[in-house]
Chains A and B, each alone.
Chain A
Amino acid sequence: MAVITYLDAISQGLRDEMRRDENVIVLGEDIAVFGGAFKVTRGFLEEFGADRVIDTPISESGFTGAACGAAVEGLRPVVEFQFADFIACAFDQIVNYAAKNYYRWGIPMPVVFRGPSGGGFRGGPYHSQNPEAWFTHVPGLKVVQPATPYDAKGLLVAAIRDNNPVIYLEHKHLYRRIKEEVPEDDYVVPIGVAEVKREGSDLTIVTYGAMVHESLAVAERLSREGAECEVVDLRSLSPLDRDAFLTSVRKTGRALVVHEAHLTGGFGGEVAAIIAEQAFDALDAPVTRVAALDVPSPFAAQLEDAMLPTEEKIYTAARDVLEY
């Protein structure tokens, strides 16, 4: 097994599926000749040809609609949004067409929408957003957000083979920063199954995406201080593996919900509500959330640091819950 980056794992998963199934195509801005803004599809044009690796005009709504049409005709398109922020341009196609096709007409809609998301690198307000909650609100869509190279490849393969539209949010900050041994063989990380990334008995941290790594660092630090945190990586937000975090909270009695997206209306509120509804008797402290401030992503380093959830903020909140 080779140690590869999160980005290479995505690239590998995509390439393997294109080799395995000729119905799989990719399309998006600058993905063919240029190999993609982040080079996920570098070399794809040469290997698979211009019929399957398609550069599109700068019109998210247009190429999303085209992909949905292709899916109706039996292809399995993988759409790359250059930045997840721009997925808003294709919102109607995704939430009103792709999400409802099967419900309305019984037509499978095997499309994957890849969105490079997240901040932390001074990208400013249009290149840093985490839009998962826009889509978890819409029935008919699946939403996944991998944190590790292994999960990134396994979830992408699962998404491509799924007959439903899947929003696949990959965190840009993890692209070349996180490396892991990833099997070269065919494998799938099932959609809708969370994973306990670290076991503990004192506090449950429910998180996903880039914040998994921050949360693990906090857990390590708290372990040295005598408190054991259980870190539950949701991996999929829709469908949601409720049992995974409810089981953990019933064990620890304390829950901290962490995500990089904004606090208000963020997916953490849903997790907190489920815990309150279904594990109330187990709670020994208020369910607490750590998330980004409710402001657009600032460009200035100091301001972005103040806006994003940092390891320090997670640590402080975790101590608050543990000491309650």
Chain B
Amino acid sequence: MPQMGESIAEGTIVKWLKQAGEAVARDEPLFEITTDKVDTEVPAPAAGTLAEILVKAGETVDIGTAVATIAEVGESAVSTPGTPAGSSSTEPAPRSAGGPSIPSTLQEGARPAPAAAPTPETGDAPGGHFRTTQPTKTVSFKREATAGTASAASSGGRAFSPAVLATARQAGVSLDTLTGLAGSGRGGRVTKRDVERHLADRGAGAASAAPVAASGTPPPAYLYQPKPGDERVAMSTVRKRIADHMTWSTRISPHATAIAECDMSNAAALVEAAGARFEASVGAPLTYTALVAQAAVKALGEFRTLNASVVGDEVILKPAVNLGVAVALPDSGELIVPVVREADGLSLAGFAKAVKDLAVRARSRRLTPDDVQGGTFTLTNPGIFGGLTGTPILNQPEVGILGLGAVTKRPVVLDDAIAIRSIMMMSLTFDHRAADGMVAFQYLARVREQLEALPTDLDTSKI
């Protein structure tokens, strides 16, 4: 059906001037049509035999619809040369002409000529930009998209859109958290929806699974690709929790570690002289841990910014010391930190009993959830394994953790003479947001003073 004017979408066959099987010459009138604008005869686009009439007189079809086929000379009359693909007789397209197109006909290759020129006057087949089935290649507007991607990439893929920043700002999500989010946009870009999903997750199960997800996927360059021969061991639940906690802790707090030596000769003499009597009387051994714990807790009373938490712009000072004592589980070596509650009210015997109780229950896996919550400061003891010193990672949300090295006999200069003394290294990791080095070293000095001033014996009848 030829297009008889720009706005014409359909036409009606009034009459066929040739019947199927009749020979037709090129440009010989073939059928009559009526449209909204004109009534006219339509000439044959090619010479040959009218092979088949597809649209009968009286029927109305979209422009571009094949209405008949002409078999050219030497061609079988039953074939349907040049029947355009997507012709609306088989595939009516909504609202569009849906008709054939020059490209689709040419792609078929066989007989482009008849369909390619429906009528001399109307020229090309219709369809135009309303045709939906033909992918078109030229897309100049891609320029903008490419430019946008490039700029994001040049800032390391961590450029955030205004919407992401506004959403994060409103919900109090930090830039660090945004940076840690796994993005679903192009090149891992964080989208507004990613932030909203993060907020939903955070609201749903803040304490449980969310932090693991939120720690994000590091760039591929930092990821090891397992190779044949590697042994792959799935993390235990405790391992995963520790990994998550440590990852978060280093992200949350700027860590700094202060280190000092302490002369434990008096403590050693005390344990030597009174240890057996102490254990018999108290029911728990007199250990370096108990002695240091008592000194550490007492010193916290003076340096309260180390018994604290940071919340926003505030440092929250705690009214009591709940002392966490790190314990390594015997079989797995995994770390657990049970808490001695209100440790600032305890005597030396109290510390000894509490430390023993927690260690025993931790190793026999009989700790309750309450036992491992609510700590305000932590004591850890790498010295048990012979370590000289260590740089512990903070146990969030605490701001201080004191590490104890092994107590070893070493030659030291004392009153300008070389003496053999029992020496222990102490390392205090602190949150540099809450305190500075001066406080950390003054605190260590106060702990040291107490330990070096210990008596070398104890009247165990009085404990």
Point out residues on A near B: beta carbons under 8 Å.
7, 38-39, 119-123, 127, 172-173, 175-178, 213-214, 217, 253, 260, 263, 280-286, 288-291, 293, 299-302, 304-306, 308-313, 316-317, 320-321, 323-324
Contacts and interface: CB of A to CB of B under 8 A. Distances in A.
Contact of B132 (A217, A282, A299): A217
A-B pairs, 9 with minimum CB distance = A120-B128, A284-B163, A175-B7, A301-B124, A308-B129, A281-B166, A320-B145, A284-B192, A176-B9
Given A38-B7, A293-B140, A305 B164 contact: no
Contact of B141 (A7, A120, A289): A289
Given A290-B141, A316-B139, A317-B145, A173 B162 contact: no
B97 A283 contact: no
Nearest to A211: B129
5 contacts: A281-B162, A284-B191, A313-B139, A317-B139, A324-B186
A303 B371 CA distance: 77
Contacts of A177: 9, 95-97, 130
B32 to A, nearest CB: 20
A222 to B, nearest CB: 14
Contacts of A290: 141
A283 B130 contact: no
A118 B30 CA distance: 33
Nearest to B163: A284
Interface in B185-221: 185-186, 189, 191-193
A313 B36 contact: no
Contacts of B127: 301
Given A172-B7, A284-B163, 17 more contacts: A38-B37, A121-B6, A122-B123, A175-B7, A177-B95, A214-B129, A253-B163, A253-B192, A260-B129, A284-B161, A284-B193, A288-B141, A301-B103, A301-B127, A312-B135, A316-B139, A321-B145
B125 interface: yes
A173 B63 CA distance: 13
A67 B365 CA distance: 97
Contacts of B97: 177
Contact of B130 (A173, A306, A317): A173
B40 to A, nearest CB: 16
Contacts of B138: 293, 306
Contact of A121 (B37, B126, B191): B126
B109 interface: no
A176 B163 contact: no
Contacts of A175: 7, 9
A213 B129 contact: no
Contacts of A178: 95
Contacts of B126: 121-122
B136 interface: yes
Interface of B: 3, 6-10, 36-37, 95-97, 101-103, 123-132, 134-142, 144-145, 147-149, 161-166, 185-186, 189, 191-193
Contacts of B165: 281
B136 A310 contact: yes
A311 B132 contact: yes
A323 to B, nearest CB: 6
A235 to B, nearest CB: 19
Nearest to B62: A177
Nearest to B185: A324
Nearest to A83: B6
Contact of A323 (B3, B147, B185): B185
Contacts of A312: 132, 134-136
Contacts of A323: 185-186
A293 B145 CA distance: 16
Contact of A127 (B6, B101, B129, B130): B6
Contacts of A7: 7
Contact of A301 (B36, B102, B148): B102
Contacts of B103: 301-302
B142 A122 contact: no
A18 B129 CA distance: 35
A119 B128 CA distance: 8
Contacts of A120: 128-130
B192 A288 contact: no
A217 B192 CA distance: 26
Contacts of B134: 305, 310, 312
B95 A213 contact: yes
A301 B101 contact: yes
Contacts of B124: 122, 299-301
B95 A122 contact: no
Interface centre among B127, B137, B144 (most CB of A within 10 A): B144
B102 A283 contact: no
Contacts of B140: 263, 293
Contacts of B125: 301
B165 to A, nearest CB: 8
A265 to B, nearest CB: 15
A282 B141 contact: no
A60 B90 CA distance: 45
Given A263-B140, A302-B103, A324-B189, A288 B145 contact: yes
A316 B147 CA distance: 16
Given A281-B166, A285-B161, A306-B136, A173 B145 contact: no
B447 to A, nearest CB: 52
B142 A320 contact: yes
A98 B102 CA distance: 45
Contacts of A293: 138, 140
Contact of A122 (B128, B139, B144, B186): B128
Contacts of A304: 128-129
Contact of B145 (A284, A306, A324): A324
A217 B128 CA distance: 15
A283 B7 contact: no
A282 B163 contact: yes
